[in-house]
């Protein structure tokens, strides 16, 4: 009897072990398949053009920084330095404006009771699902009539008005989880509603704020269609459009290693941010759960 | 807190809602009944744009069909894969966080032009994918030369970005009370049975949410086809958003393009409406006592 029992325990243990091995195998296989192209790309950016198309190896035969140096110069009269500066001129205001405007809106929704609140909240949720494709053309015509084509204004303006429902919704969710007693105590102490937001709620909202900042940063860095439609002069191009131009321009011999090197440089800020602030990415996605 | 002060905080958003959503929304509907080329004044043409789209414009119908195909291929596959990986990650294993961040990275970078370039590059005839296939003795595939394989390339890109759906699934899985599983085990249910009778029903609200989000995204996909396949070959990957973009910003036919965008919008609306209407049949909400 005793023997049998220990045997069955053994077999359960064995089964668990096998289970574990299967799971790890799947996880590792999926990770390798998914990330191999990206790692290979990093290696490829140091390879010669000939080696790229003959070797599946991650590692270049010899490390050559020439693709980076040549790629950075570009075939235009500007370097990638200019394109990066342009990108940041779009991204930084967007991050700041959307944070402030979304915070005010979320605060209004989460902490006040007023007429039509339910209707307004449903409108907010509706815009979350509204396909951008229907509003794009009239907005273009509007900015054209106002004379703002080929400026960064059309790309930034909507962030001044909290027009990214994802952030508003995420902040509302976070605000709702903060006990209202805090506000009430502060009111008794003589804080007005704005002071409650800045002095009491803001410090507790830090994780949500971090999530807003990093998501807006990454999405704005990724934005391609916005600048594609609105920015027409090369000197104002952000990195996304400059990269696209590099694959269009390369008639004749395509310097793939240079294009790849610049592609890597262009996603580097987002990757660094991702690995240093991962926690906030995960929290942001799961708390309100959108975008992909 | 009571009071009208709430409006004050909502004021910027409300102004923006009118300016950036409600006005352009109505305006594009109005535009869709006109011919407007940005130079000459808009001319009212009634339903002519819509009639032309559906009766004369084969390219439009083809693009609409390609969009449906793309959506039907990507959304279920991506969600199934996201759920599968989330399910494995939900077991207490060491190094989960590492895997989680690895899987999530493509979603973060997803829309970047650099990723589109990477994709275009590795699916070249002499690119990495074919080199790897060669190692297994598989003949080279001319990915961009046939409609089916070109579609596959942009579908792969979308599925590759399953990370954010996966994270949402994972968070939902972690909320499922452990005693439910224990009860199922005592009742003698197998693991697979437990998955389909306990896990899946409890996940339906999350599945529903992910489904809607991914559908709305997939119907509007632009970067993949525009940058990678350029709509080809034979316009087999010429998705609706590319059609709309071309007519608006290449040919400056704002009215015609608006009409096309409204057709796409109505398609999205219909699909989501059907899902919402049927949701009471298959989405389980615990606080309603369940069904």
Distances (CA, A) of B155 to A181, B71, B76: 50, 9, 11
CB pairs under 8 A between A and B: 262
Domain boundary among A13, A42, A69: A69
Domain span at A33 = 2-69
Residue from B28, B87, B97, B113 to probe the interface with A (highest A Cβ count within 10 Å): B113
Q: Are residues A98 and A14 in the same domain?
A: no
pLDDT of residue B2: 58
The residue with tokens 């240093």 is A276
pLDDT of residue B1: 56
Task: Answer positive or negative: Cα dihedral of A156, A158, A162, A166.
Answer: negative
pLDDT of residue B289: 42
Interatomic CA distance for residues A156 and A210, integer angstroms: 20
pLDDT of residue A292: 33
| Chain-centroid distance, C-alpha A133 | 20
pLDDT of residue A249: 64
Q: Are residues A141 and A26 in the same domain?
A: no
Q: CA end-to-end span of chain A, whole Å?
A: 56
Q: Which of B99, B125, B86, B136 is nearest to A32 (CA)?
A: B99
pLDDT of residue A235: 93
User: Considering CB atoms only, which of A112, A139, A281 is closest to B108?
Assistant: A281
B46-288 folds as MetI-like fold (1.10.3720)
Task: Write out pLDDT tens, residues B176-201.
Answer: 888 888 888 888 888 788 888 888 88
Q: What residues does each domain of chain B span? A: 46-288
Per-residue pLDDT of chain A (292 residues; tens, 9 = 90+): 555 666 677 888 888 888 888 888 988 998 888 888 888 888 888 887 777 777 777 777 777 788 888 888 877 788 999 999 999 999 999 999 999 999 999 999 998 888 888 999 999 999 988 899 999 999 999 999 999 999 999 999 999 999 999 899 989 988 888 888 888 888 888 888 888 888 888 888 888 898 899 889 999 999 999 999 999 999 999 999 999 988 876 556 677 888 889 999 999 999 999 888 887 877 777 765 443 3
Interatomic CA distance for residues A115 and A102, integer angstroms: 20
A17, closest residue in chain B (CA to CA): B93
Q: Are residues A31 and A128 in the same domain?
A: no
pLDDT of residue B288: 46
pLDDT of residue B183: 86
Average pLDDT for chain B: 89
A42, closest residue in chain B (CA to CA): B118
pLDDT of residue A1: 52
B246, closest residue in chain A (CA to CA): A229
Residue from B87, B117, B134, B210 to probe the interface with A (highest A Cβ count within 10 Å): B117
Q: Is the pLDDT of residue B12 over 80?
A: yes
Q: Is the pLDDT of residue B261 over 80?
A: yes
Asked if the C-beta of A254 comes within 8 angstroms of chain B's C-beta atoms, the answer is no
**Structurally, how many domains does chain A consist of?**
2
Domain boundary among A30, A46, A69: A69
Residue from A29, A128, A292 to probe the interface with B (highest B Cβ count within 10 Å): A292
What CATH code is carried by the domain that includes residue A189? 1.10.3720.10
Q: Are residues A140 and A118 in the same domain?
A: yes
Task: Write out pLDDT tens, residues B37-79.
Answer: 999 999 999 999 999 999 999 999 999 999 999 999 999 999 9
pLDDT of residue A57: 75
A290: chain B residues, CB-CB within 8 Å: 164, 213
Q: Are residues A169 and A228 in the same domain?
A: yes
A12: chain B residues, CB-CB within 8 Å: none
Domain boundary among A69, A104, A119: A69
Q: Are residues A138 and A257 in the same domain?
A: yes
* Angle at alpha carbon of residue A220, lines to B221 and A247, rounded to 5°: 65
Q: In chain A, where do the E strands start and end?
A: none
ipTM, two decimals: 0.90
CA of A1, closest CA in chain B: separation in Å? Answer: 23
Residue A113 has φ and ψ, to the nearest 5°, of -115, 125
B94, closest residue in chain A (CA to CA): A24
Task: Write out pLDDT tens, residues B114-156.
Answer: 999 889 888 988 888 888 898 898 888 999 999 999 999 999 9
B245: chain A residues, CB-CB within 8 Å: 225
Distances (CA, A) of B238 to A134, A225, B205, B241: 18, 16, 33, 8
Task: Write out pLDDT tens, residues A104-155.
Answer: 999 999 988 888 889 999 999 999 888 999 999 999 999 999 999 999 999 9
Q: Are residues A57 and A107 in the same domain?
A: no
Q: Are residues A80 and A141 in the same domain?
A: yes
B170: chain A residues, CB-CB within 8 Å: 286
Count how many Cα atoms sit within 13 Å of the Cα of residue B273 in the half-sphere of its side chain. 6
């Amino acid at each position: 009897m005793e023997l049998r029992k220990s045997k069955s325990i053994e077999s359960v243990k064995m089964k668990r072990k096998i289970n574990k091995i299967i799971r790890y195998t799947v996880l590792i296989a999926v990770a390798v398949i998914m990330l191999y192209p990206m790692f290979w790309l990093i290696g490829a950016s140091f390879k010669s053009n000939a080696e790229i198309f003959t070797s599946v190896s991650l590692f270049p035969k010899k490390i050559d920084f020439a693709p980076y140096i040549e790629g950075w110069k570009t075939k235009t009269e500007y370097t990638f330095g200019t394109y990066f500066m342009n990108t940041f001129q779009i991204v930084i205001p967007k991050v700041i404006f959307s944070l402030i405007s979304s915070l005010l809106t979320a605060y209004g929704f989460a902490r006040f009771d007023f007429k039509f609140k339910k209707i307004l909240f449903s409108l907010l949720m509706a815009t979350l699902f509204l396909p951008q494709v229907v509003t794009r053309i009239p907005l273009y015509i509007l900015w054209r009539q106002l004379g703002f084509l080929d400026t960064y204004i059309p790309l930034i303006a909507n962030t001044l008005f909290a027009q990214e429902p994802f952030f508003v919704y995420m902040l509302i969710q976070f605000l709702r989880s903060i006990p209202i007693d805090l506000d009430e105590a502060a009111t008794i102490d003589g804080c007005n509603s704005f002071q409650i937001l800045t002095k009491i709620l803001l410090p507790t909202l830090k994780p949500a704020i971090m999530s807003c900042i990093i998501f807006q940063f990454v999405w704005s860095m990724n934005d391609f269609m916005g600048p594609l439609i609105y920015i027409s002069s090369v000197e104002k191009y952000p990195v996304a459009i400059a990269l696209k131009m590099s694959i269009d321009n390369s008639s004749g011999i395509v310097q793939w290693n240079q294009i790849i090197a610049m592609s890597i440089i262009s996603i580097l800020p987002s990757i660094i941010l991702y690995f240093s602030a991962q926690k906030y990415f995960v929290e942001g996605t799961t708390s309100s759960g959108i975008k992909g | 807190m009571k009071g009208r002060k709430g409006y004050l905080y909502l004021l910027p958003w409300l102004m923006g809602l009118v300016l950036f959503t409600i006005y352009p929304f109505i305006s594009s509907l109005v535009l869709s009944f006109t011919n407007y080329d940005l130079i000459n004044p808009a001319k009212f043409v009634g339903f002519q744009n819509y009639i032309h789209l559906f009766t004369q414009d084969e390219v439009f119908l083809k693009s609409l069909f390609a969009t449906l195909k793309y959506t039907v291929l990507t959304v279920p596959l991506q969600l199934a894969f996201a759920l599968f990986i989330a399910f494995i990650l939900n077991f207490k294993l060491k190094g989960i966080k590492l895997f989680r961040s690895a899987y999530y990275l493509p979603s973060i970078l997803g829309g970047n032009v650099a990723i589109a370039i990477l994709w275009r590059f590795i699916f070249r005839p002499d690119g990495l994918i074919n080199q790897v296939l060669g190692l297994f003795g598989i003949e080279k595939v001319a990915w961009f030369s046939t409609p089916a394989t070109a579609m596959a390339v942009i579908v792969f890109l979308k599925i590759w970005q399953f990370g954010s759906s996966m994270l949402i699934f994972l968070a939902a899985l972690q909320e499922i009370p452990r005693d439910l599983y224990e009860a199922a085990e005592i009742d003698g249910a197998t693991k697979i049975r437990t998955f389909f009778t306990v896990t899946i029903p409890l996940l339906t609200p999350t599945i529903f949410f992910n489904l809607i989000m991914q559908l709305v995204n997939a119907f509007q996909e632009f970067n993949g086809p525009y940058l990678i396949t350029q709509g080809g070959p034979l316009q087999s990957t010429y998705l609706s958003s590319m059609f709309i973009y071309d007519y608006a910003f290449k040919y400056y036919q704002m009215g015609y393009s608006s009409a096309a965008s409204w057709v796409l919008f109505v398609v999205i609306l219909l699909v989501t409406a059907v899902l919402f209407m049927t949701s009471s049949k298959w989405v389980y909400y615990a606080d309603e006592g369940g069904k």
